[in-house]
Chain A
Amino acid sequence: MVFWLARASLRRRAGAFTGSFLVLLFGAVMVMSFASMLDTGRGTGVDAISSETLTTMGSVVGGWGMCLVVFAVVSTLGLSVRQRATETALLKSAGATPAQIVRMIAGEAALVSVAAAAAAVAPSYLLGRFLLGLLKDTGQVAGGVAFAFGTIALLVGFGVTVGSAVIAALWTARQATRVSVAVSVIGAATGPVRLTWKRIVPAAVLLIGGLYLGVLTVTAFADKGPDAMPVAGQACILASMGLALLAPGLVRATTALTGRLLHGRGAAGYLTVQHLRRRTGQAASALMPIILFTGIGTGILYLQLIENRAVAATGYLRSNEQQNIQTLNLVVIGMIVVFACIMLINTLVASTTFRRREFAQLRLAGATPAQVLRTVRTEGLVIVATGTVLGVLASAVTVLPYSIVRADRWIPDLPAWVLLAIIAVAVTATLSAALGTAHRMLRTPAVDAMAP
């Protein structure tokens, strides 16, 4: 019965699942391709040095990618489950037991994530082979090592993707079904807003961890040169995830700070303030990927630029090998940044689609389509401004220490355009996803859009 319900619901909500599927797919590709380095390293006839490089690459870089993927999957699946609070409440009032609903939602998550992991196998194979090629070109792995894609890649890929999706769905669904029908309808309207210790404790651990790695970079790794890179690089990942976890509280702080300013800006500003205040949870889920994208993107791109500048300062021409290491780093950075960007777009499309009814109600109450779009734009701008400021703060725990280590100055002497470009991408992705989706919602006449 439950499986049948899950499949029916998947088919009906194809659009909503596409977003989760894409995030899961890209996440699975990232995890699997790095895990295939571990498979390759265990192959017969692989020398000790090559094996060590491959294991490090697979476990360290892959490990961080995995953290990001788990984070993204949990937040994406959590969002999609929370958005269904009303539907869940209706199912419950129609006689479904909480356990049945939890099983149905977890069943859906399992179906989507297994499909995504299966679809990820072929691209992961290609990407893994490409990564090995880069490692060989940089001389870090012997030329004779053969690419292998086997048990570890598949186990880790499926395990991480399906595991985190199902656990996230179970957890959120349990929370969603625990409350009474009446309260969950209110919850659907207002969204969860409290900053509980379940968020604060891991956030504090991550933030302290990020700061600690930053301090470690300027102390224990101060004279280790490029070897400090991975330590410094991880600092901004930890700090970004820590801040992202605090998103609900940060949205509330932003609302308090900008409230006065926005209230002077007509109906759009007024509605933005009310939205941020009463749909804190929804705004927070949009803020999280913006912090991750800006924080991690800025942190690791400047890390590489500082390193480049330091190598150039030695006066030697950059060797082919160094050039290739840079390429490898950029590939890894690129994957992480692209993934964060996909998560950002998916979150905004999902949470804007969810507001179809609200937009229709606004129009019926006398809002012109332009006023609706202006409201969405104002909200998007507030969120993206907050997210980029916080992201840049998070990146500081990587950039400042590494700049001290490699260039003896806090603020690196580097062009600002990289930062501006990252901010531009964040702003463009946020606004085009939100406004594009809202525009699509507005194409349906308001009275039809009200139909459930």
Chain B
Amino acid sequence: MFQQGMVTPPLASGQALRLDAVTRHYESPGGTVRALNGVSLALDGGSFTAVMGPSGSGKSTLLQCAAGLDTPTSGRVLVDGVEMSGGTEAELTRFRRNRIGFVFQHFNLLPTLTVLQNATLPLRLAGKRVDRTQAVEVLTRVGLADRLDHLPAQLSGGQQQRVAIARALVAGPRVVFADEPTGALDTRSARQVLALLQEAVRIDGRTLVMVTHDPVAAAHADQVLFLADGRLVGRLAEPTAAAVADAMTRLTDQAARGRVAEGV
């Protein structure tokens, strides 16, 4: 629906995202920080995965490496079966354009562009023809048909995030990443945003990976992956909010015990 009348390959089948032993190390004055420590995973097309874990466990790093916004120290990332060339920023950008959409916690809309202009920006940057009718349709779907010419500063947080979702979807990406997309929103706006993201999976067959701290949000997903100290430490299929909350409590307790054991 976000991309109409096109002969697209069947989206909801085959592996959409695959990570092979991905690590990401940062050199800092205090020594090497292992933000990601050998993460491997494979996600089917049309699936909805939530990623959870304590603060600093590497969730954002994982998303950025998988989305081509950051380059892993080692390991491979494959989107739609194509390996991400760990080359220059320009190469990574071109790789991302048709394959990957990203929704940030703080929206990251261009302050000088209107709602409509923000939503169509990725197409313009990719040198594609901008189909106004299609863009308006996307924005209508996220409930912003009457705000097309507003600037981001004139919108509420929830509205800005919906523009950001429209922008992430406009180029018809295979995989959409969202890093705490509801983190800066009130409950009502958060629910709207979640519903839109879910719709992108259920109706359009996009593959969605979402970092969240909220068990209720995570319960919308098909599965929840738990991350601690840069490693995948657990998986929960068919999650409910209660089960997710339980698992998170155990994980934070373990992490706390681990830190005590290490004498930190």
Contacts and interface: CB of A to CB of B under 8 A. Distances in A.
8 contacts: A267-B125, A277-B112, A279-B112, A361-B109, A364-B102, A365-B108, A365-B121, A366-B171
Given A189-B111, A447-B64, A366 B151 contact: no
B153 A189 contact: yes
B211 to A, nearest CB: 14
B125 A190 contact: no
A369 interface: yes
A278 interface: yes
Contacts of B69: 364, 445-447
Interface centre among B70, B112, B153 (most CB of A within 10 A): B112
A445 B60 CA distance: 14
Interface in A359-392: 361-371
Given A189-B151, A279-B112, A447-B70, A365 B167 contact: yes
A371 B126 CA distance: 10
Given A267-B127, A364-B102, A365-B125, A190 B109 contact: no
Interface in B77-126: 89-90, 93-94, 96-97, 102, 104, 106, 108-113, 117, 121-122, 124-126
Interface in B41-83: 64, 69-70
Given A267-B127, A270-B124, A445-B70, A278 B112 contact: yes
Contact of A366 (B104, B111, B117, B125): B125
Interface string A254-265: 000000000000
A63 B193 CA distance: 62
A190 B96 contact: no
Given A279-B112, A361-B108, 6 more contacts: A186-B154, A358-B111, A365-B108, A365-B122, A366-B97, A445-B89
B111 A190 contact: yes
B179 to A, nearest CB: 10
Interface centre among A185, A367, A370 (most CB of B within 10 A): A367
A78 B126 CA distance: 37
A185 B124 contact: no
B110 A362 contact: yes
B112 A367 contact: no
A450 interface: yes
A190 B110 contact: no
Contacts of B153: 185-186, 189-190
A362 B104 CA distance: 13
Nearest to A369: B89
- Identify the 7 closest CB pairs spanning chains A and B, nearest first: A189-B111, A186-B153, A368-B90, A278-B112, A366-B122, A366-B125, A368-B93
Interface centre among B64, B97, B125, B154 (most CB of A within 10 A): B125
A367 B125 contact: yes
A273 B112 CA distance: 10
B151 A450 contact: no
A361 B167 CA distance: 13
Nearest to B94: A368
A274 interface: yes
Interface in B177-222: none
Contacts of A270: 124
A144 interface: no
Interface string B146-177: 00000111100000000000010001000000
A275 interface: yes
A296 to B, nearest CB: 32
B60 to A, nearest CB: 8
Given A189-B151, A267-B125, A366 B96 contact: yes
Contacts of A371: 125
Interface in A406-452: 445-447, 450
A266 interface: yes
Nearest to A189: B111
B125 to A, nearest CB: 4
Given A267-B125, A364-B102, A274 B154 contact: no
A450 B102 CA distance: 14
Interface in A174-219: 185-186, 189-190
B110 A358 contact: yes
Given A186-B154, A190-B111, A364 B121 contact: no
A88 to B, nearest CB: 16
